[in-house]
Chains A and B, each alone.
Chain A
Amino acid sequence: MVESSTEIMVDVNNLNVIFDKNHIIHDVSFKVKKGEIIGLFGISGAGKTTIIRVLTCQIEKKNWSGNVTVTNFSPDKKQNHPLILHNIGYVPQLELLNLYYELSPLANVEVFSSTYGLDTKEAKKIAQELFKILDIPSDTWNKRVKHMSGGEKKRLSMAIGLIHKPSVLFLDEPTTGVDASKRYSILSYLKKLNQKLDTTMFIITHDLEAALICDKTAILREGRMLEFDSPQNLINSLPSNGLVARFEINDLNEAKITRISEFSPVKKVLRVGNEVVEILMESFEENLPKLIQYMIERGVTVNSMSRDSASFRRFFQIRIQEEEEREKLKKNIGEA
């Protein structure tokens, strides 16, 4: 039991991807254990899809280097590709391009499951179990996919990705284009499947809420991995374990923000609304009263105040901002 829980499903060491002289991924390394849900976060163009494409045998070896194994097989050898593809599932971003719309859900299941050598009966049995977990109404099972709702299609696509009980499931933007309420339900379905089937999941997403279900989150920026840890650990690495003070301030402006930043325990001032700032500081409990006093003395009028723990969203913002500032600095030094 203990052994299996530490089994490494995906191992990436010093991955570099270069497309005709464009260095897309720089020295990315991480390990994923069995049963973990990994969230791969990063703004557009960061290289999320590219990493997944390496792991799923979609990029030729000549374009990448590094030691990579997926379910203990390396995608650098062509003969390993069928073995890896047998062990993984892939839920692509767009259903329109990745389901047979003119066929029924069960016929789709048959098409995809047969490629793994599953016989039809067995596949349909598994599919029906998955459909039930995913709440795909049974009256749609034999109708054409094109008549299903968007959310149903998405869940069908997930079921198909899981039909052969893969060890690792890759999901590209599973919540993009789904409305807010459904987003949460998709995330909870994923968690449910993860727990029932012990499937390792790899989720590419812009949706920072997805971190809620992730055991580990990876933050990617311009092809470099900035962080790879559990969301809680990342939040805890912030000053005072990520405690934030939220202030509503009259006539908030840049000058006032600068003034607040000048208070030495303050590590970060984030403007999160028109008149709202969030403040991170060292020794939160001790310094909060002092900060309020400081603000009153400097003529910064506080309307209301609340305290909170930073969300992953906040952490992500801070981390990306930090990186941008560091880069600017580097550039300035370089110019000077």
Chain B
Amino acid sequence: MRKNVRSDKKINMVKFQRSLFRIIRQMKKEFLLLLTDKFNMLLAIVVPPLVIFLFGFMMNSIPEGIHPVDCVVISYDSNVYIDEGTFNESLRDDFTLPYVNAANKSEYLNLIHFYNATEEIYAMESARMMLLASDIKVIISLPVGFSEFITLGLPGLIDCIPDASDIKTIQDNLNAVFDSVKTFVNDNNLTPQFQLTGYEEFTIPEGYSFRFNYNITLTLSFIVFGVSMVLTILVVVQEKPVARLLLTPAKRSEILISKYLTYTLILIIQVILLIISTLVCRLYLAGSILDLFIALFTIGFTGLSMGIFISTQSKTKTEANQLFFAVFIVILLLSGIFIPIDAMPIYLQVIAYILPLSHGDPMIRGIVTKGKSVFGFDFFALLILSIILVLISFIIFKRRKYEV
């Protein structure tokens, strides 16, 4: 019995050694196979540190310090003032200009325009348009009696209308306005307290989840872009029998067009389902459903054409997968999620604006929270990008080598 156990042990040991030997040999084979595909190796080993470098570089090259908030000032000041002693009537707006100067001076604010509402009756409408177009972040409004209150030593009143569609920045914007008020008070040796009143523009009505609405815009553009891309990434590389199809009267362009059309149909279904499900989850949609549909479709179509483009130009499935991964990471890093795009150095901004996801979120956010029309800069940027990708994919596919 004992002897048997011992010899069993020995046999097991030998078995183990043999198995180990085979594994090592198999590993060698794996390495050899890996090395045959240089491109793959490149992606596996070179790309990850490259991504980190890119990320680090981006983070480090963002100028530290203040990023001024774009704003406009509207003055409703300059009301009729009756001197108590002399009963003389006069117009009083002694403090409007000093405030504007203070706002101009503040390094936290970037004063885009000053409206005198007594002269320009559509001042507020114009300013709202700018807020809608994201040209400014906050409207600073000096109410009727602004100067009068200050003269009388009453607390000064300033109305603030920040863009609330981006909750992360509301506080920053208000702080920037406070800074201008501080400068104003110091420069003019004023004592009164100041009170910022006002309301947030583009907020979500009662009964809707603020958090859901705020986060869904980003999620939507990611899902629709990512899924379309993943779906199409292998669509050309993995279809070997195309070689045989090309020995029939089928044309290359027909083969690729049918791929685009099929996946476009799938995209349409996907977008419809996405919209329905977000509405079911109580999305507050300020704009129209059609605008949202067109926006999501455009983002998805960019993903689709990017996927097919990568697929046409990859020789193997692994290459396509790797390329997808690399491209997706860069798109992600430069999408404006981690770092606001206008805070990036200019050359990264150029790349960011060429990449699709930098347009997706602002476009959807504009429609969902501000009720903007889809047809803006972001839409046309995506349109042009996808047209270019489609054209290139056709050119590459025409030249792709197929052998039966």
Contact = CB atoms under 8 A, between A and B. Distances in A.
Given A90-B404, A92-B404, A97 B241 contact: yes
Given A99-B241, A100-B241, A93 B247 contact: no
Contact of A93 (B245, B249, B250, B404): B404
A25 B245 CA distance: 26
Given A92-B404, A93-B404, A98 B250 contact: no
B240 interface: yes
A80 to B, nearest CB: 12
A82 B404 contact: no
A112 B243 contact: no
Interface in A171-196: 172
A120 to B, nearest CB: 16
B400 interface: no
A62 B240 CA distance: 26
Contact of A56 (B241, B245, B247): B247
A98 B239 CA distance: 9
Contacts of A86: 249
A98 to B, nearest CB: 4
A115 B247 CA distance: 10
Contacts of B251: 82
A96 interface: yes
B189 interface: no
Interface in A48-97: 56, 58, 82, 85-86, 88, 90, 92-94, 96-97
Nearest to B255: A115
Interface centre among B244, B248, B251, B403 (most CB of A within 10 A): B248
A294 interface: no
A305 B245 CA distance: 54
B240 A96 contact: yes
A115 B250 CA distance: 5
Nearest to B403: A58
B248 A98 contact: no
A139 to B, nearest CB: 24
A148 B306 CA distance: 36
Contacts of A117: 249
Given A90-B404, A98-B404, A115 B243 contact: no
Contacts of A82: 249, 251
Interface residues of B, number: 12
Contact of B243 (A85, A88, A92, A111): A92
A263 interface: no
Interface string B250-265: 1100000000000000
A112 B248 contact: yes
A257 B186 CA distance: 120
Nearest to A157: B244
A85 B241 contact: no
B244 A112 contact: yes
Given A90-B404, A92-B404, A93-B404, A112 B240 contact: no
Contacts of B243: 92, 97-98
A19 interface: no
A116 B241 contact: no
Contact of A116 (B248, B403, B404): B248
Interface in B197-254: 240-241, 243-245, 247-251
B249 A98 contact: no
Interface centre among A58, A117, A172 (most CB of B within 10 A): A58
Interface centre among B241, B243, B245, B403 (most CB of A within 10 A): B241
B240 A85 contact: no
Contacts of A85: 247-249
Nearest to B240: A97
Contact of B247 (A90, A94, A96, A100): A90
Given A96-B240, A97-B240, A98-B240, A112 B245 contact: yes
Contacts of A115: 245, 248-250
Nearest to A103: B241
Contacts of B403: 58
Nearest to A86: B249
Contacts of B245: 111-112, 115
Interface centre among A56, A86, A115 (most CB of B within 10 A): A115
Nearest to A93: B404
Contacts of A98: 240-241, 243-244, 404
B75 to A, nearest CB: 70
A130 B250 CA distance: 22
Contacts of A112: 244-245, 248
A70 to B, nearest CB: 12
A97 B404 contact: yes
A323 to B, nearest CB: 29
Nearest to A52: B404
B244 A92 contact: yes
Nearest to B251: A82
Contacts of A100: 241
Contacts of A92: 243-244, 247, 404
A122 to B, nearest CB: 16
Contacts of B248: 85, 112, 115-116
A172 B244 CA distance: 12
A136 B251 CA distance: 30
A73 to B, nearest CB: 13
Contacts of A88: 247
A252 B250 CA distance: 60
Given A97-B404, A98-B404, A172-B404, A90 B249 contact: no
A99 to B, nearest CB: 6
Nearest to A96: B240
A153 B403 CA distance: 19
Contacts of A94: 404
A85 B245 CA distance: 10
A135 B145 CA distance: 98
Contacts of B404: 90, 92-94, 97-98, 172
B317 to A, nearest CB: 14
A100 B238 CA distance: 11
Nearest to A90: B247
Q: When A and B form their complex, which 3 residue pairs have the shortest distance between CB atoms, in order from nearest?
A: A92-B404, A115-B248, A115-B250
Given A85-B247, A90-B404, A98-B404, 19 more contacts: A58-B403, A82-B251, A86-B249, A90-B244, A92-B244, A92-B404, A93-B404, A96-B240, A97-B244, A98-B241, A98-B243, A98-B244, A111-B245, A112-B244, A112-B245, A115-B245, A115-B250, A116-B248, A117-B249
Interface of A: 56, 58, 82, 85-86, 88, 90, 92-94, 96-100, 111-112, 115-117, 172
15 contacts: A58-B403, A82-B249, A85-B249, A90-B244, A90-B247, A92-B243, A92-B247, A96-B240, A97-B404, A98-B240, A98-B243, A98-B244, A98-B404, A112-B244, A112-B245
